[in-house]
A = this chain, B = another copy of it.
Amino acid sequence: MARARSEERRTEILRATLEVIAERGYRGATLGAVAERVGLSQQGLLHYYPTKEALLVAVLEDRDRWDTGGGGSRGEGPWPLELLGSLVEYNAMRPAIVQTFSALLGESVTEEHPAREFFSLRYSQVRADMAASLRAEHGEELPGGLTPERAATLMVAVMDGLQYQWLLDPGTVDMPGSFRDFLRLLRDRTGPDVSGPSPG
């Protein structure tokens, strides 16, 4: 009972955090602003999330759960590539959460950052998920002679890298269109002998 109440509170806090992020951006999303929104003292909020980083990681984990169908909207099995294209389109309509993700990812590569473990584990998982999607749709060999695993690393890099270019210059960079360009590159099949010698 107390546990259910606590879970409910956490859900409220995450929802309030998303609202504050949407209104004030990454830097404006302070613990104080979130506490006020949810009707807690800052001390009360720290009981649930001891740092801003812990709170933001929880928000991003929650988003991942929803986006990848853990929210119950999708069945089992690999994520279809076409749906990934739609996810990038959806992201282009919610710059504040994309900004939060990108800013925290940037911080996470600094020394002993509290979000480092989250991102490191997340990327292992996301690369594996993308490799499964690529294998399901393209088989074992993709253009350029790439394995699904090698193409997955590139696909994740494209998604993240496009977010930075788009956040910096949304009027110039067509994030969803560019991501679909990349999906087209992966569909563009040819014989392995055309791809040149392997450098490795």
Chain B residues with CB below 8 A from A178, complex form: 150, 153-154, 157
Chain B residues with CB below 8 A from A109, complex form: 26, 99, 102-103, 106, 164, 167-168
Tell whether A140 is near chain B: CB-to-CB under 8 Å: no
* Chain B min CB distance to A185 (Å): 4
Tell whether A195 is near chain B: CB-to-CB under 8 Å: yes
Instruction: Give the CA-CA distance A26 to B107 in the complex, in Å.
Output: 10
Contact (Cβ within 8 A) B165 A157: yes
Contact (Cβ within 8 A) A110 B119: no
Tell whether A116 is near chain B: CB-to-CB under 8 Å: yes
* Chain B min CB distance to A96 (Å): 10
Tell whether A4 is near chain B: CB-to-CB under 8 Å: no
Contact (Cβ within 8 A) A164 B160: yes
Chain B residues with CB below 8 A from A26, complex form: 109-111
Contact (Cβ within 8 A) B146 A185: yes
* Closest B residue by C-beta to A200: B177
Chain B residues with CB below 8 A from A159, complex form: 161
Tell whether A158 is near chain B: CB-to-CB under 8 Å: yes
Tell whether A65 is near chain B: CB-to-CB under 8 Å: no
Tell whether A123 is near chain B: CB-to-CB under 8 Å: yes
Most buried by B among A109, A124, A181, A185: A109
Tell whether A194 is near chain B: CB-to-CB under 8 Å: yes
Given contacts A109-B168, A144-B187, A180-B199, 10 further A-B contacts (CB under 8 A): A27-B110, A27-B111, A105-B106, A106-B109, A124-B172, A157-B164, A157-B178, A158-B161, A160-B164, A177-B200
